[in-house]
């Protein structure tokens, strides 16, 4: 149902809890604002279906109101929430997203980059399926680039990455706050960036992390190893939800009560895995939708002439379920 009257900039400002001037800046991508503020205003604009009037728009006639999004590898579980978050911010600001999938192919990526530039996009978001660093998509590009989820090896570039260290610490601190003192860390392959970063964040708490695979099967196998060693453990910090689910199942089948005897945490807060687990999993959520919104906000700021170089860490949060406290 259409609303009785079109929303005005005043309505947007009120909903976002900012001044009209700030709302205007955020929507036009002018001035210097925090990415969160830009995000909040654009979200409010989207909710109210606010349409900036054309006269105001024509001040920025050199812009195409198009942004390119290049995914390094394929579109996957981690890029979707990023895409949704970015589209949330950009769509509300009347910016269209051109999506390109480079599929781990440098030639394909270069081609996509050329196409985006020939279409005169206002800016580019580069993302990927795995966290970690990558070489810049190009040098001396005529438009700003923001890396999201992945980060650029070039320090002058702008990257927004999940705070994996902070995230896994949230899980460990939660276990300690519920009285667990004998912690184990079971995670993915040692060569994987996220497995390494998360394990390093726990070196003061865990003697020797168990590296394996990102799978339930590995979680079950690791539980078998730990039980066979007769280890006196009361908490397992897992590298992802699949490992945590396998771990939880194997502990239960071995007669260990989760969470009474052993508490288990996951990572990713992947609902289909975390909620189907018995008991449901306490898990670290990297807030990838928020990360996508932040990246889009930073890109719009950069398009408006306010770049924010460096690596920006987006905070994780802990979702507590029955696998740690009942």
Q: Which residues bind a copy of itself (CB under 8 A)?
A: 2, 46, 49, 51, 66, 69, 74-76, 80, 83-84, 87, 91, 94, 96-101, 107-108, 111-112, 115-116, 119, 215-217, 242, 245-246, 272-273, 276
Closest CB 74 distance from a copy of itself, rounded Å: 6
Closest CB 147 distance from a copy of itself, rounded Å: 19
Closest CB 21 distance from a copy of itself, rounded Å: 25
Contact between residue 100 and residue 49 where contact means Cβ atoms under 8 Å apart: no
Closest CB 258 distance from a copy of itself, rounded Å: 16
Closest CB 306 distance from a copy of itself, rounded Å: 25
* Phi, psi angle pair for 9, to nearest 5°: -60, -30
Helix ranges, 30-189 (H):
35-47, 54-57, 79-92, 106-118, 164-177
DSSP letter at 257? -
Q: 55 or 107: whose CB is closer to a copy of itself?
A: 107
Contact between residue 292 and residue 148 where contact means Cβ atoms under 8 Å apart: yes
Q: 3 or 260: whose CB is closer to a copy of itself?
A: 3
Q: 20 or 115: whose CB is closer to a copy of itself?
A: 115
Q: 115 or 190: whose CB is closer to a copy of itself?
A: 115
Distance separating alpha carbons of residues 25 and 200, to the nearest angstrom = 41
CA distances from 317 to 9, 33, 59, 171 (A): 33, 24, 40, 9
Closest CB 201 distance from a copy of itself, rounded Å: 25
Contact between residue 293 and residue 139 where contact means Cβ atoms under 8 Å apart: no
CA distances from 316 to 62, 82, 164, 171, 258 (A): 37, 14, 7, 10, 24
* Phi, psi angle pair for 284, to nearest 5°: -85, 130
DSSP letter at 322? T
Closest CB 75 distance from a copy of itself, rounded Å: 5
**Token pair belonging to 257:** 């009560």
Distance separating alpha carbons of residues 296 and 43, to the nearest angstrom = 12
Closest CB 296 distance from a copy of itself, rounded Å: 13
Distance separating alpha carbons of residues 118 and 109, to the nearest angstrom = 14
Q: 24 or 71: whose CB is closer to a copy of itself?
A: 71
Distance separating alpha carbons of residues 218 and 167, to the nearest angstrom = 22
Q: 5 or 229: whose CB is closer to a copy of itself?
A: 5
Distance separating alpha carbons of residues 272 and 256, to the nearest angstrom = 24
Q: 195 or 202: whose CB is closer to a copy of itself?
A: 195
What is the chain's alpha carbon radius of gyration, rounded to the nearest angstrom?
22
Q: 235 or 239: whose CB is closer to a copy of itself?
A: 239
């Amino acid at each position: 149902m259409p609303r009785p009257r079109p929303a005005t900039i005043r309505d947007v400002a009120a909903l976002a809890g900012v001044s009209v001037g700030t709302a205007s800046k955020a929507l036009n991508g002018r001035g210097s604002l925090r990415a969160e503020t830009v995000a909040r205003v654009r979200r409010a604009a989207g909710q109210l279906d606010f349409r900036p009037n054309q006269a105001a728009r024509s001040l920025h006639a050199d812009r195409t109101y198009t942004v390119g999004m290049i995914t390094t590898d394929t579109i996957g579980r981690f890029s979707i929430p990023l895409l949704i978050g970015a589209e949330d911010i950009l769509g509300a600001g009347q910016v269209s997203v051109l999506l390109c999938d480079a599929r781990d192919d440098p030639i394909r990526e270069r081609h996509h980059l050329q196409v985006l530039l020939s279409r005169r996009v206002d800016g580019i978001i580069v993302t990927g399926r795995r966290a970690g660093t990558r070489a810049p998509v190009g040098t001396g590009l005529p438009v700003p680039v923001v890396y999201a989820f992945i980060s650029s090896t070039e320090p002058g570039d702008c990257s927004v990455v999940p705070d994996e260290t902070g995230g896994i610490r949230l899980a460990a601190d939660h276990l300690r706050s519920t009285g667990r003192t004998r912690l184990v860390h079971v995670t993915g392959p040692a060569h994987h960036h996220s497995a390494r970063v998360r394990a390093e964040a726990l070196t003061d708490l865990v003697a020797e992390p168990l590296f394996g695979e990102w799978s339930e099967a590995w979680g079950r196998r690791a539980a078998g190893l730990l039980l066979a060693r007769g280890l006196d453990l009361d908490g397992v910090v897992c590298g992802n939800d699949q490992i945590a689910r396998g771990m939880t199942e194997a502990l239960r089948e071995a007669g260990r009560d989760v969470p009474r005897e052993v508490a288990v945490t996951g990572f990713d807060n992947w609902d289909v895995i975390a909620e189907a687990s018995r008991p449901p999993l306490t898990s670290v959520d990297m807030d990838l939708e928020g990360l996508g919104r932040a990246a889009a906000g930073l890109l719009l700021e950069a398009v408006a002439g306010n770049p924010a170089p460096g690596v920006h860490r987006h905070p994780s949060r802990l979702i507590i379920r029955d696998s740690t406290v009942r």
